[in-house]
Structure 1
Amino acid sequence: MMRPNQARLDLSAARHNIALARELAPASKVMAVVKANAYGHGAVTMARTLEPHADALAVACMEEALELREAGIGAPILLLEGVFEPDELAVAAKAGLWITIDNDTQLAWLEAARLARPLQCWLKVDTGMHRLGVAPARAAELCQRIAACRNSLGPPVLITHFACADELENDATRRQIALFEDCGAGLAAPRSAANSPAVLAWPEAHYDWIRPGYMLWGHSPFGTRPQPNADRLRPVMTLCSAVISVREVAAGEAVGYGASWVAKRPSRIATVTVGYGDGYPRTAASGTPVLVNGQRAALAGRVSMDMITVDVTDIGPVRLGDPVVLWGEGLPVAEVAEPAKTIGYELLTRMPMRTPRVVARD
């Protein structure tokens, strides 16, 4: 028998989530971000699911884009980081990809290239993230150069990225919006600014294109804080396993590596066959919620490579083979990420290939 570990995928939830994005931004086109193996869900599976419901897809780099093209994905695909060397421009043209221009060097490569066909370009503007993008004061100049370039399909789409959109009380997003408005004033160029938190909570930032990513997988970018629109999302991935052992532990006895968890009372401990080798975070602290038979129990002791131990004293009979949910349906990934001192984005994207992705609902 195979280990019971699975990342079960509910494809209907992905369609629900992208429909919610469209509902919230009805005047905008939708670019579904499927980078990093579709945030750990499986790039090809999720791109095929979302392609009929999106106007375009987005990935981080050429390798991710070509994987989708080789799988038969025909939708426009944007390279969010652009090309890393000039030879990639010819590959992008052949594959019909869209490119981001982030700096003068990338633009010079585009102007000097001899391509089979022109490319749809997006111009990244740095409005405060200070990671990628040109200075706002140069947006008009570079927009004109791209529009005039023989290798460009006309004016670019202006794109920026928010640093603090998940912090609703933070004025940084309003400042970025104002700067983006200023630098785009008078330019005949579509605009795009809204990532998942902005799609959900900053309607003034929807513009011509929205770029939902994390929300497509059914998780709130606001963590465990409630938000009306995020509360309507449905998780796509449910990380599942099963109980493989149950034992009684006396008060005062320790469980797991380092003896970090000690029973304060006579306790029943279930061993579950999942660990950091399967994508469950080693940093998850004792007390992290785990669903056993649909009931909440608590992680007890350190996470091992292949196993965890769970205090099931208070949840009734537990037997070998009983189902366990680590996150997903019934248990938001943020509730696991928080005690692991990380974010749900990391837990999803670090899901290893050892854990099979299984389509549970289509």
Structure 2
Amino acid sequence: MSRPVVATLNLSALRNNLNIVRKAAPNSRVWSVVKANAYGHGLERIWSSLSETDGFALLNIEQAILLRERGWKGPILMLEGFFHADELALFDQYRLTTSLHSNWQVKALANARLKAPLDVYLKMNSGMNRLGFSPDRIHTIWQQLKGIANVGQLTLMAHFADAERSEGIVEPMKRVEQAAEGLGCPRSLANSAATLWHPEAHFDWVRPGIMLYGASPGGQWCDIATSGLQPVMTLQSEIIGVQNLKSGDVVGYGSRYRANAEHRIGIVACGYADGYPRIAPTGTPVRVDGVLTHTVGAISMDMLAVDLTPCPHTGIGSPVELWGNEVKVDDVAQSAGTVGYELLCALAPRVPVVTTS
């Protein structure tokens, strides 16, 4: 019998979440962001459930080619563009939309021998200081690109660092408006947080990522609890052992948990080698046979321990939800001092994945 840990993907939740995006930004087209192997869900498993999107956005050319080979004929946006000039032959062959954020990319595109122009997203640095041209250069670069035969449709793109805050996009939007003045250009600015909470940033294309997978861009489930978004991934396992602790007994590596009274704990077949956060402290929420309880002690490579006091009827074979419909991945992540993005992306290859419609 195989080890009981498994990740289940609810594809109907994925379709639901895309519909929520449509309702939030009814006048915009949608780039469904599927970078990081669809945020750990597996691009090949889930892309067809997002086939009602207007386009896919990602980073790796191998996954862009996968989408084309599986039959996707719509737009594909390469969020970081090409990394070497010789990749432009593949961008041309597979008709990929490229972002441009550096002078060398502009020059490489101008000098490339292409069968047809490529659509371009001109990346502006709106204050996050990762990629992009400064606002005062956008007019010059825009006009330069308009004169390049290899450039098709042009769109202005920027990204927000703090869109989960009510005032978080005020200054970046001012920079965008200043940079775009007089250009009359299409724009793509809104990530998940801006799609949900800043309709003034929707413009022509929104770029939802984490919200498609049913987690919060702000890191707290309460922020999206009434949004209609549904978790796509559920990580489940079973109790494979039970220990009866006496007062003073310790649990796990480093003896980080010490019992202050007699009680039972369950040992769950899931650990950090499966993608569960090693830094999750005692008290991280988990459900055993539908009852909310919590972890105790350090997370091991292959196992973790949970307090069975709230569920005395449980034992070996009892089902455990690590995150999913009942235990929100955002709540687990918050307990561990990280974000749901990281936990979803960190699902280990050794964990079997099944899908439901």
TM interval, shorter chain, is over 0.9
Q: Give the structure 1 partner of residue 156 of structure 2.
A: 158
Q: Give the structure 2 partner of residue 142 of structure 1.
A: 141
1:304 aligns with 2:303: no
1:192 aligns with 2:191: no
Q: Give the structure 1 partner of residue 15 of structure 2.
A: 15
Q: Is the 8 A contact 1:220 1:230 kept in 2?
A: no
1:244 aligns with 2:255: no
> 1:156-208, CA deviations, whole angstroms, 9 ceiling, x for partnerless residues?
1100000111233xx34111012112211221321011000100111111111
Q: Match of 2:264, SS?
A: strand
Q: What letter is aligned with 1:242? A: E
Q: What letter is aligned with 2:54? A: D
Q: How does 1:53-72 map to 2 (within 5 A)?
A: 53-72=52-71
Q: Structure 1: which 5+ residue stretches go unaligned?
A: none
Q: Match of 1:128, SS?
A: coil
Give the C-alpha shift of residue 145 in structure 1.
1.8
2:251 aligns with one of 252, 255, 261: 255
Q: What is the number of equivalent residue pairs in this alignment?
A: 357
Give the C-alpha shift of residue 228 in structure 1.
5.5
Q: Is the 8 A contact 1:201 1:229 kept in 2?
A: no
1:108 aligns with 2:111: no
d(CA) in 1 for partners of 2:55 and 2:230? 22
Q: How does 1:7-46 map to 2 (within 5 A)?
A: 7-46=7-46
Aligned CA-pair RMSD: 1.3
Give the C-alpha shift of residue 230 in structure 1.
6.1
Q: Is the 8 A contact 1:270 1:311 kept in 2?
A: yes
d(CA) in 1 for partners of 2:262 and 2:72? 56
d(CA) in 2 for partners of 1:109 and 1:124? 16
d(CA) in 1 for partners of 2:260 and 2:69? 56
> 1:288-346, CA deviations, whole angstroms, 9 ceiling, x for partnerless residues?
01110111111011001110010111223112111100011111111111121111111
d(CA) in 1 for partners of 2:274 and 2:197? 33
d(CA) in 2 for partners of 1:150 and 1:229? 48
2:217 aligns with one of 214, 221, 227: 221
d(CA) in 2 for partners of 1:292 and 1:4? 14
Q: Match of 1:338, SS?
A: helix
Q: Match of 2:223, SS?
A: coil
Q: What letter is aligned with 1:163? A: A
Which is further off, 101-110 or 224-233?
Answer: 224-233
Give the C-alpha shift of residue 254 in structure 1.
0.5
> 1:235-278, CA deviations, whole angstroms, 9 ceiling, x for partnerless residues?
00000111111121111100111111011110101000000010
Return closer, same or farther for 1:190/1:229 CA change in 2, 3 Å cut-off: farther
Give the C-alpha shift of residue 62 in structure 1.
1.6
Q: Match of 1:329, SS?
A: coil
Q: Give the structure 2 partner of residue 353 of structure 1.
A: 349
> 1:13-45, CA deviations, whole angstroms, 9 ceiling, x for partnerless residues?
011111001101111000000000100001112
Q: Structure 2: which 5+ residue stretches go unaligned?
A: none
1:284 aligns with one of 280, 283, 307: 280
Q: Give the structure 2 partner of residue 82 of structure 1.
A: 81
d(CA) in 2 for partners of 1:180 and 1:61? 27
Which is further off, 34-43 or 333-342?
Answer: 333-342
Give the C-alpha shift of residue 111 in structure 1.
0.4
d(CA) in 2 for partners of 1:221 and 1:329? 17
Query: Among the aligned pairs, what percent are the same residue?
Result: 43
Q: Match of 1:37, SS?
A: helix
Q: Is the 8 A contact 2:266 2:308 kept in 1?
A: yes
d(CA) in 2 for partners of 1:144 and 1:229? 44
d(CA) in 2 for partners of 1:25 and 1:202? 10
TM-score w.r.t. the length of structure 2 is 0.97
Give the C-alpha shift of residue 147 in structure 1.
2.1
d(CA) in 1 for partners of 2:319 and 2:190? 38
Which is further off, 284-293 or 218-227?
Answer: 218-227
Give the C-alpha shift of residue 72 in structure 1.
3.0
Q: Give the structure 2 partner of residue 167 of structure 1.
A: 165
